[in-house]
């Protein structure tokens, strides 16, 4: 049976007679932490490492060294090894990201409210770049059905909340495709934003993504009655100063 962490704090590590020189700095950095605090620390360290390198290139030794702990201690908290730690790290990032959308904005026009949601999203991305990167950079051999399900749950939550924001209870296939496609654009934009050193100001990026939604909705509305009805209802609530109003004015200036 796998060992479990003590309810009081980290278990005391067995002393060694002659630790190597390479081990001395790490052991000197070790300090005892309460169980939950140590677990959270290991997850935070893992997120940083998984975001910086492909998860398959990160070992438990890497996590232990970065956390100032020992490999056996990491195993005490994550008896399933790196796979269990990877899944725990993804769940942590997914939970915090989903929480950011728990409160719906109520002030402003629909596109202003959508912009407010995007600002909260990019606040998370900026504050937790490692967690976001580890959550959404797929393609790892460490991925399993469980890890894919964690990411899919985040996307489903984003879909539900966006449809709720649109005032839609039952979305047809084209409207659902519109929202899913736009969420993919948001995800890809956030990853690119991080990879390129955040060269584009977050406010400007959020405004561009709102414009993207309006344009994608207009293109979909041409072929879908439900989307046309939703978009028409939205535009009736917009003002000349709102994102949609400004976008329409600029398109007219361009003769479009």
Which is more confidently placed, 163 or 30? Answer: 163
Contact yes or no for 238/245 (Cβ under 8 A): yes
Residue that the structure tokens 């797929």 belong to = 138
Superfamily of chain region 23-79: Homeodomain-like (1.10.10.60)
pLDDT in tens, 159-188: 998 998 888 989 999 999 999 999 999 999
User: CA 231 to CA 247: how far, in whole Å?
Assistant: 14
15 HSE (CA, 13 A, CB side): 2
C-alpha closest to that of 41 among 99, 100, 88:
88
Q: Tell the CATH topology of 91-253.
A: Tetracycline Repressor; domain 2 (1.10.357)
Q: In which residue ranges of the chain is CATH 1.10.357.10 found? A: 91-253
Mean pLDDT of the region 45-58: 83
Mean pLDDT of all residues in 33-54:
85
């Amino acid at each position: 049976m796998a060992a479990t962490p003590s309810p009081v704090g980290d278990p005391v590590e067995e002393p060694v007679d002659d630790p190597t020189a390479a081990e001395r700095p790490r052991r000197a950095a070790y300090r005892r932490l309460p169980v939950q605090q140590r677990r959270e620390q290991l997850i935070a360290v893992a997120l940083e490492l998984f975001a910086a390198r492909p998860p398959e290139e990160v070992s438990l030794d890497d996590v232990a060294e970065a956390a100032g702990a020992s490999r056996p201690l990491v195993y005490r908290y994550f008896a399933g090894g790196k796979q269990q730690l990877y899944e725990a790290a993804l769940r942590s990032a997914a939970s915090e990201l989903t929480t950011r959308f728990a409160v719906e904005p109520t002030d402003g026009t629909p596109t202003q409210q959508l912009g407010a949601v995007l600002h909260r999203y990019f606040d998370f991305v900026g504050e937790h770049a490692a967690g976001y990167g580890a959550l959404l950079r797929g393609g790892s051999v460490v991925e399993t059905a469980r890890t894919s399900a964690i990411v899919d749950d985040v996307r489903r939550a984003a879909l539900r909340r966006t449809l709720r924001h649109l005032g839609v209870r039952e979305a047809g296939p084209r409207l659902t495709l519109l929202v899913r496609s736009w969420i993919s654009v948001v995800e890809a934009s956030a990853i690119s934003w991080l990879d390129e050193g955040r060269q584009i100001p977050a406010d400007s990026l959020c405004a561009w993504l709102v414009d993207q939604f309006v344009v994608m909705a207009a293109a979909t509305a041409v072929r879908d009655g439900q989307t046309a009805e939703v978009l028409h209802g939205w535009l009736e609530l917009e003002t000349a100063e709102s994102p949609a109003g400004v976008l329409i004015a600029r398109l007219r200036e361009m003769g479009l």
